[in-house]
């Protein structure tokens, strides 16, 4: 019994001295194995406890376990000291590159389209979409474009086999959704549109539009102005000046083009606004009763507004991109510039 206690005392003295003066991690690890390893001195003592009486077990076992904890702590703290010395200030080159992880980028058009759509979703508009390959009915006739009318010339049309065309605007979604629903209908419809034009820096034969429309009882132009103001304030900045210019679209009456104060020159006139002080951003109006009639709505009971805007134009304006073709060339050095 006393022999064991003496052995514990010697072990403590030796181990504490050796651990606190161990010069390398390897020596420290060797010490740990000698004392605390499977065949270590302290382990052997603990194993020998099973031959003792319960009282002795408690006494010596308690002391041996105390010593075990003490030595373990000492080893850990000596290890920290030794490691700190090995990796002290100045020994690591922190300018070495980190692991090459990359975050990608949304396409600029997606970035801007998502922003636009999100703003309207917050105002209770539901997303809908329609086919890119359309019939004359949905793209023109149902939207009150008379056959053989010059209004059709304004939208150079791609025709495809099978007596169909590539939609020239997203407005056809109005008709398709009205046919499926009863008022109130409040929808935002983003999508790709096509115009049969020569591709150059300023115009492409493909671009994106976002169409919005709302039909219910008592919807007025005043409501349209409210929604568009909310959009413009959120998208271009609160308090941006706007103006409405009467215009002509076969499917709205009255129709209006909406301009905002040029945010480059503040309205003084600059090359970007072609010295007009205003930037055209969207077309809008009150849905023509002929369109409502075509979908079986009673224009005496309900009224509605519609608006449509290009996505590329505000995207390009915002970042002063001067060539629309860059958007479809997909050079990653271009794509990576937008976040």
Partner 1 sequence: MRLPYSWLKELSGIDWSPEETARRLTASGTACVLEMPNPEHFQNVVIGHITKLERHPNADRLVVTEVNTGDASHTVICGAPNCAVGQKVVLALPGANLKGELAVKPITMRGVKSAGMICAEDELGISADHAGIMVLDPDAPIGQPAFEYLGLDDPVFNLEITPNRPDCLSAIGVARELAVLAGRPYAPKIDPLHEGSRAASDFIKITIADSQACPRYAARIITGLKIGPSPWWIRRRLLACGMRPINNLVDITNYVMLETGQPLHGFDYDRFGSQEVVVRRATEGESFTTLDGKEHRLDPTVLMITNGHAGVAAAGVMGGLESEVADTTTTVLLESAYFDPGVVRKSARRLGLATESSYRFERGIDPNGVVRAADRAAAMMVRFGGGEVAAGVVDNYARTISPVKIALRPAQVRRISGADVAVPFTETTLRGLGMDVTSGDTLSVVVPTFRPDITREIDLVEEVIRVYGLDNIPVSRQNGGPLYTPTHRHHTIKTDIRNILIGLGFEETMGTGFAHAERLQKIDPGLDPIRVTNSMSDEFGVMRTRLLYSLLLSAGNNVRHRNMDLAIFEIGKVYLKGEKAPLEPEYAGVLLTGRPDGVYWKGKAFESDLFELKGVLAALAEGLGLEPVSLRLEPAPGYDPAQSVAILCGGQVVGHGGLVDRRICRMFDIKQDCFGAELELTQLIAPERARKPFVSLPKFPASTRDLAVIVDASVTAEAVLNEIRAVGGGLVEAASLFDLFTGEPVPAGKKSLAFSISYRAADKTLEDEEVDRVHGRIVEYLGQKFNARLRE
- By CB under 8 A, what part of segment 249-308 binds partner 1? 253-257, 274, 276, 286, 288-289, 303
Q: Nearest 5°: phi and psi at 255?
A: -115, 150
Instruction: Take residue 57 and report the two structure tokens written for it.
Output: 């077990």
Figure out which of the listed residues 5, 16, 27, 205 binds partner 1, where binding follows CB under 8 A.
205
- With a CB cutoff of 8 Å and minimum separation 6, the contacts of 84 are none
318 binds partner 1 (CB under 8 A): no
Helix H or strand E segment including 40 = none
Residues 119-138 that bind partner 1 (CB under 8 A): 121, 123-127, 129, 131-133
DSSP string, 73-134: HHHHHHHHHHHHHHT-TTSS-TTS-----------HHHHHHHHHHHHHHHTTPEE----SEE
Q: Of 70 and 225, which CB lies nearer to partner 1 in the complex structure?
A: 225
Stretch that binds partner 1, among 32-40, 48-56, 75-83, 152-160 (CB under 8 A): 152-160
49 binds partner 1 (CB under 8 A): no
DSSP string, 201-222: SS--SEEEEEEEEEEETT--HH
328 binds partner 1 (CB under 8 A): yes
- Cα–Cα distance between 250 and 150 in angstroms, integer? 11
10 binds partner 1 (CB under 8 A): no
CB of 240 to partner 1, least distance (A): 13
Figure out which of the listed residues 216, 264, 269, 318 binds partner 1, where binding follows CB under 8 A.
216
211 binds partner 1 (CB under 8 A): no
Between vectors from CA 283 to CA 232 and to CA 200, what angle results, nearest 5°? 100
Residues 74-93 that bind partner 1 (CB under 8 A): none
x-or-dash pattern for partner 1, window 227-246, by CB under 8 A? --xx------------xxxx
């Amino acid at each position: 019994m006393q022999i064991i206690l003496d052995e514990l005392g010697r072990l403590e003295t030796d181990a504490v001295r050796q651990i606190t003066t161990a010069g390398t991690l390897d020596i420290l690890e060797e010490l740990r194995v000698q004392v605390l390893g499977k065949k270590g001195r302290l382990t052997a003592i603990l194993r020998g406890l099973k031959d003792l009486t319960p009282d002795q077990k408690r006494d010596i076992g308690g002391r041996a376990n105390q010593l075990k904890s003490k030595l373990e702590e000492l080893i850990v703290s000596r290890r920290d000291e030794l490691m700190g010395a090995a990796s002290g200030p100045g020994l690591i080159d922190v300018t070495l590159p980190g692991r090459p992880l990359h975050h990608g980028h949304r396409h600029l058009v997606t970035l801007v389209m998502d922003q636009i759509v999100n703003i309207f979703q917050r105002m209770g508009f539901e997303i809908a979409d329609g086919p890119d390959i359309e019939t004359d009915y949905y793209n023109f006739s149902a939207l009150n474009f008379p056959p053989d009318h010059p209004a059709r010339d304004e939208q150079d049309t791609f025709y495809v086999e099978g007596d169909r065309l590539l939609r020239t605007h997203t407005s056809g979604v109005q008709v398709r959704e009205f046919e499926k629903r009863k008022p109130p209908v409040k929808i935002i419809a983003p999508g790709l549109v096509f115009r049969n034009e020569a591709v150059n820096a300023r115009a492409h034969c493909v671009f994106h539009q976002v169409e919005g429309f709302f039909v219910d009882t008592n919807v007025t132009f005043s409501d349209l102005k409210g929604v568009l103001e909310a959009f413009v304030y959120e998208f271009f900045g609160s308090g941006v000046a706007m103006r409405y210019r009467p215009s002509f679209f076969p499917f709205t009456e009255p129709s209006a083009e909406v301009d905002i104060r040029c945010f480059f020159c503040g309205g003084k006139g600059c090359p970007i606004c072609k010295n007009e002080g205003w930037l055209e951003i969207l077309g809008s109006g009150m849905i023509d009763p002929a369109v409502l009639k075509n979908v079986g709505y009673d224009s005496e009971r309900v009224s509605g507004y519609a608006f449509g805007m290009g996505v590329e134009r505000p995207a390009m304006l915002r970042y002063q991109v001067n060539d629309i073709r860059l958007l479809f060339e997909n050079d990653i050095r271009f794509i990576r510039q937008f976040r």
